[in-house]
Structure 1
Amino acid sequence: MQKTKINVIAETSLLAGLAMILDLLTQPMSLGPWISFSFKMVPIFILAFRRGIKPAMLAGLIWGILQVAFGEAAGNWLNLTQGFLEYFVAFSFVGIGGLVKPWLDKAMTKKETFKGLSLIILGIFLGTISRYFIHFIAGIIFWGSYAPKGQSALLYSSIINGSSWLGETLACSIALWLLYPFINIFLKK
């Protein structure tokens, strides 16, 4: 039992670190500060599908902390509440994709490829929509004053955060779709 806990902690830390490395490496793929086509959340999703919500949310939190520690959050931190929401809460919420784990385990055991892939896409959707919902709320509350004249904070946040959500959801979905033939290896305990 103790060995399992150590394995989960080690995997959580390693995959959070890998997410940070992918985040740093895929910065050039961003089409600006708000538009991104990146698969940097893939390690967190792999952990969510392998170990469930709690370890994945912890990995997301560690990733958010690493972003702050490495200065990736610099310039995007307006105040303590906004920074906490967008770097600690939002990144933790990627782990919500692990909600599909019980059904994914069954589909993988029965070798139901279409069902397994569908559940992975659903998990990606749940994790990314949860993360970007927090960014959307923060966008309205904290970034709305940056909206172009005549544009509401709601529309501004929808456009900015919606474009990033779409790009990252597509990138993660494509990456995990391509990895799907090997995913059983990743998901075995």
Structure 2
Amino acid sequence: MNRGRTVVLLEIAMMAAFAMVLDFIDSQMKMVFFGMSLSFSMVPVLLLSLRRGVKAGMAAGFLWGLLQIALGDAAGSIVHPLQGFLDYAFAFTLIGLAGLRSFPVTHLKVILFSAVGIFARYFVHFISGWVYFGAYAPKGQPAWLYSLVYNGQIALINSATCIVILLILFTVAPKLFKAEKL
């Protein structure tokens, strides 16, 4: 294995672990914004995706999803194996789509491609919520609408939070978004 590949694998592992640590902090702080949890734990995976591309970002997202199953929020919230796969392994992997950007990374690309990765994640959560959690919809409300409102609110709040943090990071430390040729 060459040095460059080792460095990328190390970055993937570190960013997935960092995302998990931030998720623990999010859970402990219980920051609430209009009744929804405010989370910034996607930032490391989004940053890695913007820095290294789709494959590295998706690998980190997948690893973070597995960590969620083993250590995190998945405990007690998996109602079916396919739902667990969709909500954790698959949805978290799609955050890596932020890496579809081209170089050089700019403020606009940080916004647009982070939104792509976040939207892809929450679209899967929407589908899963519609299929597996529609029974929680208020009487008379379609399951798809319940899932759209619930997941849509979380997606908007968390995407705004993560994108603002990424823009601040890009402004004060743009080298974080530039991967060295190894």
- Specify if TM > 0.5: yes
Task: Please identify, of 155-164 and 66-75, the stretch whose mean Cα deviation from structure 2 is larger.
Answer: 66-75
Q: CA deviation at 1:146?
A: 1.1
Q: Is 1:126 the equivalent of 2:116?
A: yes
1:17 equivalent in structure 2: 17
Counterpart of 1:91, as a letter, is F
Return the alpha-carbon distance in structure 1 between the equivalents of residues 31 and 139 of structure 2. Answer: 25
Q: CA deviation at 1:124?
A: 1.2
TM-score by length of 2: 0.92
1:151 equivalent in structure 2: 141
Return the alpha-carbon distance in structure 1 between the equivalents of residues 171 and 127 of structure 2. Answer: 37
Moved over 4 A (4+): none
Return the alpha-carbon distance in structure 1 between the equivalents of residues 77 and 19 of structure 2. Answer: 19
Counterpart of 2:147, as a letter, is S
Return the alpha-carbon distance in structure 1 between the equivalents of residues 72 and 49 of structure 2. Answer: 26
> Residues 107-126 of structure 1: matches in 2 within 5 Å?
108=105, 116-126=106-116
Q: CA deviation at 1:71?
A: 4.1
Aligned CA RMSD, in angstroms, stands at 1.6
2:156 equivalent in structure 1: 166
Counterpart of 1:175, as a letter, is I
Distance 1:126 1:183, change over 3 A: farther
Return the alpha-carbon distance in structure 1 between the equivalents of residues 173 and 88 of structure 2. Answer: 28
Return the alpha-carbon distance in structure 2 between the equivalents of residues 35 and 137 of structure 1. Answer: 19
SS of the equivalent of 1:17 reads helix
Aligned pairs, how many?
Answer: 177
Return the alpha-carbon distance in structure 1 between the equivalents of residues 13 and 81 of structure 2. Answer: 25
Return the alpha-carbon distance in structure 1 between the equivalents of residues 153 and 121 of structure 2. Answer: 13
2:47 equivalent in structure 1: 46
2:6 equivalent in structure 1: 6
Return the alpha-carbon distance in structure 2 between the equivalents of residues 46 and 142 of structure 1. Answer: 31
2:166 equivalent in structure 1: 176
Is the 2:96–2:117 contact (alpha carbons within 8 Å) kept by the matching residues of 1? Answer: yes
Return the alpha-carbon distance in structure 2 between the equivalents of residues 72 and 139 of structure 1. Answer: 15
Once the two structures are aligned, what percentage of the paired residues are identical?
39
Task: Please identify which structure carries the higher helix content.
Answer: 1
Is the 1:29–1:38 contact (alpha carbons within 8 Å) kept by the matching residues of 2? Answer: no
Return the alpha-carbon distance in structure 1 between the equivalents of residues 150 and 13 of structure 2. Answer: 30
Return the alpha-carbon distance in structure 1 between the equivalents of residues 11 and 78 of structure 2. Answer: 29
Q: CA deviation at 1:155?
A: 0.8
Question: Any stretches of 5+ residues in structure 1 without a counterpart?
Answer: 109-115
